[in-house]
Structure formats: structure tokens, C-alpha cells
């Protein structure tokens, strides 16, 4: 196999794994009423400075937008349909998710420091999830700047506009 073929296969593996993670997580966040409520609650952590009524209304709208970003970003990258748009959706969503995990990690740390052992477990998990999102931000930026290679549907109008001589 030549280097270009290996690169395209590596991109395919990255696309499948990132696309799967985003589609699976979006499905888990929307699969039932309890999951949707939890997603809205987590989103509300970004708006703690607002009054409760405004916070919940804005959180619900932003949670819906976030789930659309996850589904579209995952499908886009997985199938190679406008993957640069999918890449930016994944990067932006991951940056916001990183902030939510940081808030939840701090809450869990406080619980752990007050003697709750599950607090330390939550702190560890949210800290790891926060750092994991850096990888997804990097992958999203990679897809934004580089596209997804030869294995996909190849619809990349944004890529043709950004780099008309590239593939």
C-alpha cells in the first residue's frame, strides 16, 4: 500500500470513530424524556448567571441546537458529506461540552472534598471527559482544514471554495 492510500484509510478510521461517538452520544441524549431533560439541565450549566425562567428556556433551545450539531456533525464526518462543516460543528460542540464537564467536575470535586467518595469518581470522570473533548476539537479542526480523504461521498463544496486545487 502506498502512503496516500494509508492516509485515506487512517482518515476513514478516524471518521468512523468520531462519527460513531457523536451519533451514539446524540442518540443517548435524546432517546427518552429523562435523557432529554438531563441534556437540557446540563446545558443550563452554561447559563447559570440568568434567572431560572430565562435559563431554562434558553437551555432548551441550546440543547436542541446542540443535538442537531451532534447529529449533523456525526453524519457529515462519517459519510464525507460537507465534512468541513461537520468538523466545525464537532469542534464547537466539543468546546461547549468541555465547559460543561469543567463545571460538573468542580461540583463533584466539592462533593468529594466533603467526604462523598462518589464525588471523587465524578470528578475523575468529568475531568477525563473535559480533556477528551480537546481530542474532538482537534479532530473537528482537522476535518475543517483537511477534509476526509477519498473514502466518502465526496460532497465538499466548502472544501472546493477553501482550496479549489485540493482534493
Average of pLDDT values for 42-50? 95
Distance CA 106, CA 48 (A): 14
pLDDT tens digits, 85-141: 999 999 999 999 999 999 999 999 999 999 998 999 999 999 999 999 999 999 999
Average of pLDDT values for 64-81? 95
Is residue 37, in this structure, part of any structural domain at all? yes
Is residue 164, in this structure, part of any structural domain at all? no
CA angle in degrees (0–180, nearest 5) for 126-31-20 = 65
Is residue 105, in this structure, part of any structural domain at all? yes
Beta bridge partners of 81: 155
Is residue 93, in this structure, part of any structural domain at all? yes
Maximal C-alpha separation, the chain: 60
Are 69 and 92 in contact, with CB atoms under 8 Å apart?
A: yes
Distance CA 152, CA 167 (A): 12
| CA 71 from centre of chain | 10
Is residue 154, in this structure, part of any structural domain at all? no
pLDDT, the chain, mean: 90
pLDDT at 35: 97
CA angle in degrees (0–180, nearest 5) for 84-78-62 = 65
Q: Could you tell me the residue range of the domain that residue 126 belongs to?
A: 3-145
Q: How many domains does the chain have?
A: 1
Amino acid at each position: 500500500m502506498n502512503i496516500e492510500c494509508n492516509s485515506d484509510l487512517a482518515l476513514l478510521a478516524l471518521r468512523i470513530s468520531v462519527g460513531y461517538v457523536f451519533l451514539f452520544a446524540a442518540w443517548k441524549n435524546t432517546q427518552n424524556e429523562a435523557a432529554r431533560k438531563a441534556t437540557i439541565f446540563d446545558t443550563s450549566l452554561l447559563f447559570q448567571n440568568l434567572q431560572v425562567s430565562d435559563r431554562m428556556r434558553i437551555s432548551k433551545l441550546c440543547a436542541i441546537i446542540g443535538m442537531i450539531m451532534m447529529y449533523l456533525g456525526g453524519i457529515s464526518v462519517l459519510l464525507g458529506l460537507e465534512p468541513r462543516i461537520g468538523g466545525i460543528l464537532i469542534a464547537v460542540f466539543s468546546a461547549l461540552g468541555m465547559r460543561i464537564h469543567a463545571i460538573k467536575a468542580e461540583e463533584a470535586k466539592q462533593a468529594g472534598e466533603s467526604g462523598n467518595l462518589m464525588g471523587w469518581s465524578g470528578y475523575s470522570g468529568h475531568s477525563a471527559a473535559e480533556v477528551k473533548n480537546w481530542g474532538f476539537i482537534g479532530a473537528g479542526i482537522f476535518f475543517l482544514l483537511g477534509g476526509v480523504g477519498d473514502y466518502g461521498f465526496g460532497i465538499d463544496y466548502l472544501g472546493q471554495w477553501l482550496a479549489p486545487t485540493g482534493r
